[in-house]
Amino acid sequence: MRRRTVLTSVGTGLGVAGYVGAASAQDPALFEVSNVWTNSPVGPGEILEVDATIENVGDETGTTDVELVVGYDPQIEDSVLLTLGPGDRETITLEFRAGDPADGYEEFPVRVDTGAHTVTEMVAVID
C-alpha cells in the first residue's frame, strides 16, 4: 500500500473522529482511524496508552504501519503493522513513556497515523 498525505481531523476529547479525503483507484485498501481514547493525564515516567480503532474502508485487503507520533516536534514513538480485509476493523494500543513535565504540567499532541488518515488528541502529564 502506498502512503499518502491527506487533511487530518483534530480533537481534544474522546470519541469519533471525522475523515477528510478520498480513496483513489491507486489505493484500494484505505485505513481510517475511527476512534481514539487515551489514559491522559498520566504522571512522570508512566505509560501513556493510546487505543485506536482502525478500519479498512477500501475494497481490498491491505497492510499498513499505524504510527503513534508524539509532541510539537513530532517523533514516532510506537507503531503496529496491521493487515485488514475490506470492511474489517481492529482496536490497537500504542504506548509512550512520559517524561518529567516542566513546572509540573505539560500538554502536547499525540497523533495516530495510518498513512492515509490521522487523528490528533491533546494529552497531559501532571507531576
- In the chain, what are the domain boundaries? 9-126
CB 127 within 8 A of CB 43: yes
What pLDDT score does 27 carry?
A: 54
Angle (CA) 108-40-102 rounded to 5° is: 45
What pLDDT score does 21 carry?
A: 47
Give, for 52, the enclosing helix (H) or strand (E). strand 47-56
Say whether the peptide bond before residue 74 is cis (omega within 30 degrees of 0).
Answer: no
Distance of alpha carbon 41 from alpha carbon 38, whole angstroms: 8
What pLDDT score does 26 carry?
A: 52
Give the distance, in angstroms, between the CA of residue 105 and the centroid of all CA atoms in the same chain: 23
CB neighbours (10 Å) of residue 120?
A: 18
What pLDDT score does 6 carry?
A: 34
Architecture of domain 9-126: Sandwich (2.60)
What pLDDT score does 102 carry?
A: 87
What pLDDT score does 78 carry?
A: 98
Averaged over successive runs of 10 residues, the pLDDT of the chain (127 residues) comes to 36 40 62 97 98 97 98 97 98 97 95 97 97
